[in-house]
C-alpha cells in the first residue's frame, strides 16, 4: 500500500483489551494495551460488565500514554478511529463514545472501523507491501474465517466456522485441562515440549473447502481425557496440547490454501489472536514457501486485539475520503460485507 502519511489515533474496546495505537499511514508510532485478563480469569471468560467498567477506567490515561509514546500532540492528529463492532455492546460503547468526543473536541475527522477489518489490515503494520488480491485467514476468539480480500474494502468471506471459533476451542479445552484463561497462549506454551502425533484428534468438515467446525474437537478432547485419566493411560499435558493444537492448525492451514488454489491468489495474510500461535505461523510459512506465495502476518503482539490495527484501518479509510458521522452508534453484529 502506498503510505498515505495520515497520523491517526485508533481505539479498540470490543472485548477485554483496551488498546490504543497511533500510526502514520502504515508506520506504527505507538501501541499500548491495558489487558483485563486478570479481572476475567477467575470467571474463566470475559464478563461484559466487568469489561465495560475496566475500559472506562483505563481509556483516558492510556490515550495520553499512546500519544506521548508516539511523540504526537493530539492537535497534530489527522483523525480518530474507533472499533464500531462486532463485539460486546457495553465495551464497544466506551471506546466509540470516547473517540467521537475526542474527534469533536479536536475538530478532527472521525471514522468507525469494523474490528475484523482491523485484523485483516494488521499485516500492514509489519509489512506495508501487503496488498490485495489476497486470501486472509482470520482466526481469533470470536471468529474463524477464510476471507478473499479482492481489493481494499472489498471482502468476501469464503468460509467460516459453523460452531466455535478456533480461539474459543483453545480457551474451552485449556480451561478443562486446568491451564487457565486465555487458553491459546497456554496451549502454545505447553505444546512446545509435546508431540503433535500423541493423540489423533479429529479434523472436521474435510469435505467443505473453506468452513470450520471445532466443537466436535472439544468434545473429543473431553471424552479422551476423561476415559484415559480413569484408565491411568493419559499422555502428558504437553502431548495432549500439542496434538490438539496440531488438529486446529491442520484445518486452518488446509482451508486457507484451498482458497489460495481456488482464487489463484499469490498473497496470503493472517490476523486475529490465534495467529500469534507459533506452530500456526511456522506451518503457514512452510506452506507459503513451498507454493511460492508471499505470506504477510503481523508481529505476534499485533495479532491479538490492539489499537494500532484500528488506527491503520482508520488511516486507510480516511485517506479514501471516508468519515463516519458523530451521530453514529456501535453495531454489535457488524460483518465484513457491511
Ligand atoms: O483477536 P483476539 O485478541 O480477540 C478476538 O477478537 O477474539 O483473539 C483472542 C484469542 C483467544 O481465544 C486466545 O486464546 C487466542 O486468541 N490466542 C492464541 C494465542 N494467543 C492468543 N491462540 C493460540 N496461540 C496463541 N499464542
Ligand atoms: Zn479480535
Q: What pLDDT, on the 0 to 100 scale, is given for residue 171?
A: 94
* Percent of the chain topping pLDDT 70: 99
Q: What pLDDT, on the 0 to 100 scale, is given for residue 172?
A: 94
Question: If you average pLDDT over residues 13-25, what whole number do you get?
Answer: 96
DSSP string, 149-178: EEETTEEEEEEEBSS--HHHHHHHHHHHTT
φ, ψ dihedrals at 122, nearest 5°:
-55, -30
CA nearest ligand 1 atom 24, residue = 277
Question: If you average pLDDT over residues 308-318, what whole number do you get?
Answer: 98
Question: If you average pLDDT over residues 256-271, what whole number do you get?
Answer: 98
**Measuring from each residue's beta carbon to the nearest atom of ligand 1, which residues come in under 6 Å?**
15, 140-142, 167, 170-171, 182-185, 188, 272-274, 276-277, 304-305
pLDDT digits (tens, 9 = 90+) for 74-116: 999 999 999 999 999 999 999 999 999 999 999 999 999 999 9
Ligand 1 geometric centre to CA of 182 (Å): 7
Distance CA 338, CA 326 (A): 18
Distance CA 310, CA 165 (A): 21
For a pocket test of ligand 1, which of 249, 304, 336 has the largest count of ligand atoms closer than 8 A to its C-beta?
A: 304
User: For residue 154, what is its C-alpha cell?
Assistant: 472489498
Question: If you average pLDDT over residues 200-210, what whole number do you get?
Answer: 95
pLDDT at 2 over 80: no
Question: Bridge-partner residues for 83, per DSSP?
Answer: 113
Ligand 1 geometric centre to CA of 216 (Å): 20
> What average pLDDT does the chain have?
95
User: For residue 72, what is its C-alpha cell?
Assistant: 504526537
pLDDT digits (tens, 9 = 90+) for 321-336: 999 999 999 999 998 8
Which residues lie near ion ligand 2 (Cβ < 5 Å)? 140, 305
Q: What pLDDT, on the 0 to 100 scale, is given for residue 1?
A: 65
User: For residue 134, what is its C-alpha cell?
Assistant: 489476497
Q: What pLDDT, on the 0 to 100 scale, is given for residue 181?
A: 84
Q: How far is CA 301 from CA 17, 29, 59, 82, 213, in A?
A: 12, 14, 19, 19, 26
Closest C-alpha among 254, 232, 247 to residue 199: 247
**pTM across the whole model:** 0.96
For a pocket test of ligand 1, which of 48, 167, 336 has the largest count of ligand atoms closer than 8 A to its C-beta?
A: 167
pLDDT digits (tens, 9 = 90+) for 216-247: 999 999 999 999 988 999 999 999 999 999 99
pLDDT-derived band at 144, boundaries 50, 70, 90: very high
Pick the atom of ligand 1 nearest to 170's CA: 14
Pick the atom of ligand 1 nearest to 174's CA: 14
Q: What pLDDT, on the 0 to 100 scale, is given for residue 39?
A: 83
Ligand 2 geometric centre to CA of 101 (Å): 24
pLDDT at 295 over 80: yes
User: For residue 109, what is its C-alpha cell?
Assistant: 475527522
Distance CA 116, CA 112 (A): 12
Amino acid at each position: 500500500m502506498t503510505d498515505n502519511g495520515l497520523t491517526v489515533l485508533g481505539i479498540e474496546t470490543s472485548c477485554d483489551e483496551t488498546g490504543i495505537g497511533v500510526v502514520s499511514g502504515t508506520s506504527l508510532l505507538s501501541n499500548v494495551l491495558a489487558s483485563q485478563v486478570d479481572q476475567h480469569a477467575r470467571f474463566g471468560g470475559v464478563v461484559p460488565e466487568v469489561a465495560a467498567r475496566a475500559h472506562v477506567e483505563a481509556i483516558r490515561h492510556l490515550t495520553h500514554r499512546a500519544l506521548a509514546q508516539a511523540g504526537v500532540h493530539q492537535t497534530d492528529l489527522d483523525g480518530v478511529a474507533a472499533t464500531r463492532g462486532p463485539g460486546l455492546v457495553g465495551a464497544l460503547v466506551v471506546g466509540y463514545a470516547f473517540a467521537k468526543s475526542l474527534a469533536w473536541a479536536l475538530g478532527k475527522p472521525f471514522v468507525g472501523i469494523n474490528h475484523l477489518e482491523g485484523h485483516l489490515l494488521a499485516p500492514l503494520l509489519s509489512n506495508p507491501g501487503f496488498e490485495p488480491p489476497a486470501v486472509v485467514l482470520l482466526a481469533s476468539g470470536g471468529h474463524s474465517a477464510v476471507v478473499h480480500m479482492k481489493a481494499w474494502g472489498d471482502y468476501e468471506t469464503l468460509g467460516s466456522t459453523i460452531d466455535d471459533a478456533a480461539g474459543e476451542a483453545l480457551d474451552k479445552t485449556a480451561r478443562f485441562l486446568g491451564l487457565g484463561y486465555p487458553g491459546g497462549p497456554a496451549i502454545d506454551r505447553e505444546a512446545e515440549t509435546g508431540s503433535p502425533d500423541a493423540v489423533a484428534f479429529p479434523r472436521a468438515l474435510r469435505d467443505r473447502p473453506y468452513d470450520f467446525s471445532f466443537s466436535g474437537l472439544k468434545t473429543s478432547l473431553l471424552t479422551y481425557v476423561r476415559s484415559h485419566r480413569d484408565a491411568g493411560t493419559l499422555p502428558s499435558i504437553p502431548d495432549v496440547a500439542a496434538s490438539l493444537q496440531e488438529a486446529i492448525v491442520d484445518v486452518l492451514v488446509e482451508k486457507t490454501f484451498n482458497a489460495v488454489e481456488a482464487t489463484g491468489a499469490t498473497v496470503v495474510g493472517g490476523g486475529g489472536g490465534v495467529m500469534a500461535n507459533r506452530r500456526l505461523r511456522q506451518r503457514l510459512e512452510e506452506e507459503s514457501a513451498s507454493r511460492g506465495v508471499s505470506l504477510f502476518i503481523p508481529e505476534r503482539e499485533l495479532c491479538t486485539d490492539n489499537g494500532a490495527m484500528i488506527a491503520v484501518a482508520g488511516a486507510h479509510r480516511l485517506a479514501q475520503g471516508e468519515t463516519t458521522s458523530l451521530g453514529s452508534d456501535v453495531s454489535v453484529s457488524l460483518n465484513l460485507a457491511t
